[in-house]
Amino acid sequence: MKNLILTVMAMLTLSMGWSQTKEELEAEMAPKKDSIAAIQGRVDALQAQIDALPGWRVGAFGTIGGNISEFSNWYAQGFPNNSSGNIGFTVNAFANLQQEKFFWRNALNTNFSWVKLDDKDDPNDEDGFRQAVDVFNLTSLYGRKLSDKWAVSGLMEYRTTILNNFNDPGYLDLGVGFTWTPITDLVVVIHPLNYNFVFADDETIFNSSAGAKIVADYTRQIGAVNFKSNLSMFQSYESGDLSNWTWINSFSYTLWKVIGVGFDFGLRNNKQEALNFVRNLAPTPDPNATFENLDNELQTYWTLGLSYSFQ
Protein backbone atom coordinates (compact mmCIF):
# COMPACT_ATOMS: atom_id res chain seq x y z
CA MET A 1 0.00 0.00 0.00
CA LYS A 2 2.84 2.34 0.88
CA ASN A 3 4.52 1.70 -2.48
CA LEU A 4 1.23 2.42 -4.31
CA ILE A 5 0.82 5.77 -2.52
CA LEU A 6 4.41 6.71 -3.32
CA THR A 7 3.88 5.79 -6.97
CA VAL A 8 0.71 7.89 -7.25
CA MET A 9 2.42 10.86 -5.58
CA ALA A 10 5.36 10.57 -8.00
CA MET A 11 3.02 10.52 -11.00
CA LEU A 12 1.14 13.57 -9.69
CA THR A 13 4.40 15.40 -9.14
CA LEU A 14 5.57 14.61 -12.70
CA SER A 15 2.20 15.68 -14.09
CA MET A 16 2.27 18.98 -12.22
CA GLY A 17 5.84 19.56 -13.34
CA TRP A 18 4.91 18.89 -16.97
CA SER A 19 1.86 21.17 -16.70
CA GLN A 20 3.94 23.97 -15.28
CA THR A 21 6.61 23.46 -17.90
CA LYS A 22 4.02 23.56 -20.71
CA GLU A 23 2.45 26.75 -19.33
CA GLU A 24 5.85 28.36 -18.99
CA LEU A 25 6.77 27.41 -22.55
CA GLU A 26 3.47 28.74 -23.90
CA ALA A 27 3.95 31.99 -21.98
CA GLU A 28 7.46 32.29 -23.42
CA MET A 29 6.23 31.51 -26.93
CA ALA A 30 3.44 34.17 -27.01
CA PRO A 31 5.66 37.25 -27.30
CA LYS A 32 7.78 35.50 -29.93
CA LYS A 33 4.65 35.02 -32.06
CA ASP A 34 3.93 38.73 -31.70
CA SER A 35 7.51 39.48 -32.75
CA ILE A 36 7.19 37.24 -35.83
CA ALA A 37 3.93 38.99 -36.81
CA ALA A 38 5.56 42.40 -36.40
CA ILE A 39 8.56 41.34 -38.50
CA GLN A 40 6.27 39.95 -41.21
CA GLY A 41 4.33 43.22 -41.22
CA ARG A 42 7.53 45.17 -41.80
CA VAL A 43 8.58 42.75 -44.54
CA ASP A 44 5.20 43.14 -46.29
CA ALA A 45 5.47 46.93 -46.09
CA LEU A 46 8.95 46.84 -47.63
CA GLN A 47 7.74 44.47 -50.36
CA ALA A 48 4.90 46.87 -51.18
CA GLN A 49 7.44 49.69 -51.56
CA ILE A 50 9.58 47.48 -53.83
CA ASP A 51 6.54 46.58 -55.95
CA ALA A 52 5.72 50.27 -56.36
CA LEU A 53 9.18 51.11 -57.71
CA PRO A 54 9.41 51.86 -61.46
CA GLY A 55 10.41 49.01 -63.77
CA TRP A 56 9.34 45.61 -65.04
CA ARG A 57 8.02 42.77 -62.90
CA VAL A 58 8.06 39.40 -64.64
CA GLY A 59 7.10 35.99 -63.29
CA ALA A 60 5.16 32.77 -63.79
CA PHE A 61 3.85 29.76 -61.94
CA GLY A 62 1.76 26.78 -62.93
CA THR A 63 0.63 23.21 -62.31
CA ILE A 64 1.50 19.88 -63.94
CA GLY A 65 -0.59 16.78 -63.25
CA GLY A 66 -0.86 13.35 -64.80
CA ASN A 67 -1.02 9.58 -64.41
CA ILE A 68 -1.00 6.43 -66.54
CA SER A 69 -2.28 2.92 -65.83
CA GLU A 70 -2.79 -0.45 -67.53
CA PHE A 71 -5.10 -3.37 -66.66
CA SER A 72 -5.05 -6.95 -67.91
CA ASN A 73 -7.91 -9.39 -67.16
CA TRP A 74 -9.19 -7.15 -64.35
CA TYR A 75 -12.70 -8.60 -64.58
CA ALA A 76 -14.27 -6.56 -61.79
CA GLN A 77 -14.47 -3.50 -64.05
CA GLY A 78 -16.29 -2.84 -67.31
CA PHE A 79 -13.10 -2.77 -69.42
CA PRO A 80 -10.91 -5.61 -68.03
CA ASN A 81 -8.14 -4.98 -70.55
CA ASN A 82 -7.28 -1.32 -70.98
CA SER A 83 -4.61 1.33 -70.76
CA SER A 84 -5.55 4.80 -69.58
CA GLY A 85 -3.98 8.06 -68.59
CA ASN A 86 -4.32 11.78 -68.33
CA ILE A 87 -1.93 14.67 -68.40
CA GLY A 88 -2.48 18.39 -67.98
CA PHE A 89 -0.72 21.62 -67.18
CA THR A 90 -1.51 25.26 -66.48
CA VAL A 91 0.63 28.37 -66.85
CA ASN A 92 0.07 31.77 -65.22
CA ALA A 93 2.57 34.34 -66.47
CA PHE A 94 2.76 38.10 -66.14
CA ALA A 95 4.93 40.99 -67.34
CA ASN A 96 4.05 44.30 -65.66
CA LEU A 97 5.66 47.68 -66.22
CA GLN A 98 5.25 50.26 -63.45
CA GLN A 99 6.18 53.91 -64.06
CA GLU A 100 5.50 57.15 -62.24
CA LYS A 101 2.74 58.32 -64.61
CA PHE A 102 1.54 55.11 -66.24
CA PHE A 103 1.45 51.31 -66.02
CA TRP A 104 1.26 48.44 -68.50
CA ARG A 105 0.09 45.06 -67.20
CA ASN A 106 0.19 41.88 -69.32
CA ALA A 107 -1.01 38.43 -68.26
CA LEU A 108 -1.33 34.97 -69.80
CA ASN A 109 -3.41 32.09 -68.46
CA THR A 110 -3.46 28.67 -70.14
CA ASN A 111 -4.85 25.29 -69.11
CA PHE A 112 -4.48 22.22 -71.33
CA SER A 113 -5.15 18.55 -70.60
CA TRP A 114 -5.49 15.26 -72.47
CA VAL A 115 -7.14 11.95 -71.50
CA LYS A 116 -6.87 8.41 -72.84
CA LEU A 117 -8.91 5.22 -72.39
CA ASP A 118 -7.93 2.41 -74.74
CA ASP A 119 -10.21 -0.63 -74.49
CA LYS A 120 -8.00 -3.38 -75.91
CA ASP A 121 -11.01 -5.65 -76.44
CA ASP A 122 -12.60 -3.09 -78.80
CA PRO A 123 -10.56 -2.63 -82.00
CA ASN A 124 -12.77 0.29 -83.08
CA ASP A 125 -12.34 2.53 -80.04
CA GLU A 126 -10.04 5.54 -79.97
CA ASP A 127 -6.70 4.48 -78.46
CA GLY A 128 -4.85 7.80 -78.34
CA PHE A 129 -4.93 10.81 -76.07
CA ARG A 130 -7.82 13.22 -76.62
CA GLN A 131 -8.07 16.88 -75.71
CA ALA A 132 -10.06 17.42 -72.50
CA VAL A 133 -9.40 20.97 -71.24
CA ASP A 134 -8.47 23.83 -73.55
CA VAL A 135 -8.20 27.35 -72.07
CA PHE A 136 -6.22 30.30 -73.42
CA ASN A 137 -6.57 33.85 -72.09
CA LEU A 138 -4.31 36.82 -72.88
CA THR A 139 -4.82 40.34 -71.48
CA SER A 140 -3.03 43.65 -71.85
CA LEU A 141 -4.01 46.69 -69.75
CA TYR A 142 -2.53 50.18 -70.15
CA GLY A 143 -3.32 53.03 -67.78
CA ARG A 144 -2.42 56.71 -67.33
CA LYS A 145 -2.49 57.53 -63.63
CA LEU A 146 -4.88 60.15 -62.30
CA SER A 147 -3.88 59.41 -58.70
CA ASP A 148 -2.29 56.65 -56.67
CA LYS A 149 -5.44 54.53 -56.96
CA TRP A 150 -7.19 55.62 -60.18
CA ALA A 151 -6.16 55.67 -63.83
CA VAL A 152 -7.71 56.16 -67.27
CA SER A 153 -7.16 52.84 -69.02
CA GLY A 154 -7.52 50.78 -72.16
CA LEU A 155 -7.88 46.98 -72.16
CA MET A 156 -7.36 44.24 -74.73
CA GLU A 157 -8.44 40.73 -73.77
CA TYR A 158 -8.41 37.68 -76.06
CA ARG A 159 -9.89 34.30 -75.17
CA THR A 160 -10.07 31.15 -77.30
CA THR A 161 -9.19 27.46 -77.51
CA ILE A 162 -5.89 26.29 -78.99
CA LEU A 163 -5.98 22.49 -79.28
CA ASN A 164 -9.41 22.21 -80.87
CA ASN A 165 -11.53 24.71 -82.85
CA PHE A 166 -8.96 27.49 -82.70
CA ASN A 167 -10.72 30.87 -82.76
CA ASP A 168 -14.09 29.13 -83.17
CA PRO A 169 -15.22 30.72 -81.00
CA GLY A 170 -12.70 33.41 -80.16
CA TYR A 171 -13.42 36.54 -78.14
CA LEU A 172 -11.62 39.86 -78.41
CA ASP A 173 -12.56 42.65 -75.99
CA LEU A 174 -11.39 46.20 -76.70
CA GLY A 175 -12.48 48.98 -74.40
CA VAL A 176 -11.67 52.11 -72.42
CA GLY A 177 -12.63 53.37 -68.99
CA PHE A 178 -11.03 53.43 -65.57
CA THR A 179 -8.80 51.19 -63.47
CA TRP A 180 -8.89 51.14 -59.68
CA THR A 181 -5.98 49.78 -57.64
CA PRO A 182 -7.07 50.02 -53.97
CA ILE A 183 -4.11 47.88 -52.81
CA THR A 184 -0.86 46.78 -54.42
CA ASP A 185 -2.00 43.32 -55.53
CA LEU A 186 -5.60 44.07 -56.58
CA VAL A 187 -6.53 45.57 -59.97
CA VAL A 188 -10.16 46.35 -60.85
CA VAL A 189 -10.98 47.39 -64.43
CA ILE A 190 -14.26 49.24 -65.08
CA HIS A 191 -14.81 49.91 -68.79
CA PRO A 192 -18.31 51.10 -69.76
CA LEU A 193 -17.16 51.55 -73.37
CA ASN A 194 -16.22 48.10 -74.64
CA TYR A 195 -16.82 46.06 -77.79
CA ASN A 196 -16.85 42.28 -77.65
CA PHE A 197 -15.73 40.87 -81.03
CA VAL A 198 -16.77 37.23 -81.44
CA PHE A 199 -15.16 35.05 -84.11
CA ALA A 200 -16.99 31.85 -85.09
CA ASP A 201 -18.19 29.86 -88.08
CA ASP A 202 -21.81 29.73 -86.87
CA GLU A 203 -22.93 33.36 -87.00
CA THR A 204 -26.52 32.39 -86.11
CA ILE A 205 -25.33 31.73 -82.53
CA PHE A 206 -22.24 33.88 -82.00
CA ASN A 207 -22.63 37.63 -82.35
CA SER A 208 -20.44 40.61 -81.51
CA SER A 209 -21.89 43.44 -79.43
CA ALA A 210 -21.10 46.54 -77.41
CA GLY A 211 -21.26 46.42 -73.64
CA ALA A 212 -19.51 46.98 -70.31
CA LYS A 213 -16.36 45.16 -69.26
CA ILE A 214 -15.36 44.48 -65.65
CA VAL A 215 -12.17 42.67 -64.67
CA ALA A 216 -10.88 42.01 -61.15
CA ASP A 217 -7.44 40.46 -60.71
CA TYR A 218 -5.68 39.62 -57.45
CA THR A 219 -2.16 38.19 -57.71
CA ARG A 220 0.12 37.75 -54.73
CA GLN A 221 3.05 35.76 -53.39
CA ILE A 222 3.32 35.21 -49.65
CA GLY A 223 6.43 33.22 -48.82
CA ALA A 224 6.09 29.82 -50.48
CA VAL A 225 2.48 30.45 -51.59
CA ASN A 226 1.52 31.83 -55.01
CA PHE A 227 -2.09 32.88 -55.52
CA LYS A 228 -3.98 34.34 -58.47
CA SER A 229 -7.70 35.01 -58.89
CA ASN A 230 -9.10 36.59 -62.05
CA LEU A 231 -12.73 37.47 -62.77
CA SER A 232 -13.59 38.71 -66.27
CA MET A 233 -17.16 39.82 -67.03
CA PHE A 234 -18.83 41.21 -70.16
CA GLN A 235 -22.36 42.61 -69.98
CA SER A 236 -23.81 43.14 -73.45
CA TYR A 237 -25.96 46.23 -74.02
CA GLU A 238 -27.80 44.37 -76.80
CA SER A 239 -28.93 41.16 -75.05
CA GLY A 240 -28.18 39.18 -71.92
CA ASP A 241 -27.76 36.11 -74.16
CA LEU A 242 -24.52 37.67 -75.46
CA SER A 243 -23.09 38.33 -71.98
CA ASN A 244 -20.49 36.06 -70.38
CA TRP A 245 -18.16 35.74 -67.41
CA THR A 246 -15.14 33.62 -66.46
CA TRP A 247 -13.55 33.21 -63.02
CA ILE A 248 -10.16 31.43 -62.82
CA ASN A 249 -8.24 30.70 -59.61
CA SER A 250 -4.73 29.29 -59.22
CA PHE A 251 -2.83 28.28 -56.09
CA SER A 252 0.62 26.80 -55.63
CA TYR A 253 2.70 25.97 -52.57
CA THR A 254 6.44 25.53 -53.03
CA LEU A 255 7.85 22.53 -51.16
CA TRP A 256 11.40 22.47 -52.50
CA LYS A 257 13.13 25.15 -54.58
CA VAL A 258 10.64 25.71 -57.47
CA ILE A 259 8.67 22.46 -57.06
CA GLY A 260 5.48 22.24 -55.03
CA VAL A 261 1.78 21.40 -55.11
CA GLY A 262 -0.69 23.31 -57.27
CA PHE A 263 -4.45 23.54 -57.60
CA ASP A 264 -6.45 25.36 -60.27
CA PHE A 265 -10.17 25.70 -60.78
CA GLY A 266 -12.30 27.73 -63.16
CA LEU A 267 -15.96 28.69 -63.57
CA ARG A 268 -17.64 30.09 -66.69
CA ASN A 269 -21.09 31.11 -67.85
CA ASN A 270 -21.54 31.62 -71.60
CA LYS A 271 -24.92 30.99 -73.27
CA GLN A 272 -23.48 31.26 -76.78
CA GLU A 273 -21.02 28.43 -76.12
CA ALA A 274 -23.73 26.33 -74.45
CA LEU A 275 -26.12 26.74 -77.39
CA ASN A 276 -23.36 25.94 -79.89
CA PHE A 277 -22.56 22.72 -78.01
CA VAL A 278 -26.20 21.60 -77.90
CA ARG A 279 -26.77 22.35 -81.59
CA ASN A 280 -23.48 21.29 -83.16
CA LEU A 281 -21.15 19.39 -80.80
CA ALA A 282 -23.29 17.23 -78.49
CA PRO A 283 -23.41 13.43 -79.10
CA THR A 284 -27.08 13.90 -80.08
CA PRO A 285 -27.35 17.47 -81.45
CA ASP A 286 -30.61 19.36 -81.07
CA PRO A 287 -31.09 21.67 -84.11
CA ASN A 288 -34.21 23.18 -82.48
CA ALA A 289 -32.41 24.49 -79.41
CA THR A 290 -32.66 28.24 -78.82
CA PHE A 291 -31.51 30.71 -76.18
CA GLU A 292 -35.05 30.62 -74.73
CA ASN A 293 -35.23 26.83 -74.13
CA LEU A 294 -31.52 26.29 -73.43
CA ASP A 295 -30.40 24.62 -70.20
CA ASN A 296 -27.33 26.80 -69.61
CA GLU A 297 -25.39 24.90 -66.96
CA LEU A 298 -22.34 26.34 -65.20
CA GLN A 299 -19.04 25.37 -66.84
CA THR A 300 -16.30 24.19 -64.43
CA TYR A 301 -12.86 22.61 -64.41
CA TRP A 302 -10.14 21.85 -61.86
CA THR A 303 -6.56 20.56 -61.92
CA LEU A 304 -4.46 19.19 -59.05
CA GLY A 305 -0.82 18.20 -59.37
CA LEU A 306 2.81 19.21 -59.06
CA SER A 307 3.52 22.91 -59.43
CA TYR A 308 6.51 24.94 -60.52
CA SER A 309 7.30 28.61 -60.13
CA PHE A 310 10.00 31.06 -61.09
CA GLN A 311 10.39 34.78 -60.64
Any idea what the CATH number is for the domain that residue 132 is in? 2.40.230
Specify whether 133 is located in the same domain as 30.
no
Q: Are residues 4 and 95 in the same domain?
A: no
Yes or no: say if 104 and 140 are a contact pair by the CB < 8 Å rule: yes
- Give the pLDDT confidence score for residue 6 in this predicted structure: 54
- Does residue 101 have a pLDDT over 90? yes
What is the per-residue pLDDT for 106? 96
Answering whether pTM is above 0.75, one says yes
20 and 151 within one domain: no
Rounded average pLDDT over 8-28: 59
Phi then psi for residue 15, to 5 deg, are -65, -45
Q: What is the mean pLDDT of the chain?
A: 85
The per-residue b/e assignment along 249-263, b for 16 or more CB within 10 angstroms, e otherwise, is bbbbebeeeeebebb
Lowest mean per-residue pLDDT among 80-89, 91-100, 175-184: 80-89
- Position 209 scores a pLDDT of 97
Position with higher pLDDT, 308 vs 180: 180
Q: Measured over all CA atoms, what is the biggest interatomic distance in the chain, rounded to whole angstroms?
A: 97
* In the predicted structure, residue 38 carries a pLDDT above the cut 80: no
User: Which among 18, 36, 53 is the end of a domain?
Assistant: 53
Q: How far is it, in rounded angstroms, from Cα 117 to Cα 70?
A: 10
Domain tally, the chain: 2
pLDDT above 80 (res 103): yes
Same domain, yes or no: 77 and 61: yes
- 11 and 68, same domain (yes or no): no
**Confidence band, pLDDT 50/70/90 cuts, at residue 269:** very high
CB 143 within 8 A of CB 103: yes
Instruction: Please check whether residues 125 and 140 belong to one and the same domain.
Output: yes
Domain of residue 28 covers: 1-53
246: closest CA among 171, 191, 186?
Answer: 171
Clarify whether residues 277 and 137 are in a common domain. yes
